[in-house]
Amino acid sequence: MVYTALLQTKHVDIDIGKSCRTKKNLPHATTLDVRDHCLCLAARRAGRALARRFDLAILAEL
């Protein structure tokens, strides 16, 4: 039952807290560089995409 309730939400917030955020603005080029070179961000994106596929498959069977 709990998993079904989770599937009905539109997204899952994986933000670990406000303490990890920075107050200063980074240049756009820096954000693109991190996006393109950070393995952990790529792994998280791939994990979320895979989870969405599983969620869709499970919802189709219900």
pLDDT digits (tens, 9 = 90+) for 7-49: 555 555 555 555 555 567 888 898 888 888 888 888 988 999 9
What was the pLDDT predicted at 53? 94
Q: Provide Rg for the chain, Cα atoms.
A: 16
8 phi, psi to nearest 5 deg? -80, -15
Residue 5 in domain: no
The alpha helices in 1-62, defined as continuous H runs, are: 2-7, 28-37, 39-61
- 46 located within any domain: yes
Kindly state whether residue 7 falls inside one of the protein's structural domains.
no
Q: What is the pLDDT of residue 13?
A: 55
Domain carrying residue 35: 26-62
Give the total residue count for the chain: 62
Q: What pLDDT score was predicted for residue 47?
A: 94
Confidence at residue 2, expressed as pLDDT on a 0 to 100 scale: 47
Domain count within the chain: 1
3 within a domain of the structure (yes/no): no
Q: Residue 37 has what pLDDT? A: 87
Q: What angle do CA 43, 47, 52 make, to 5 degrees?
A: 150
First vs last Cα of the chain: how many Å apart? 12
The pLDDT value given to residue 42? 85
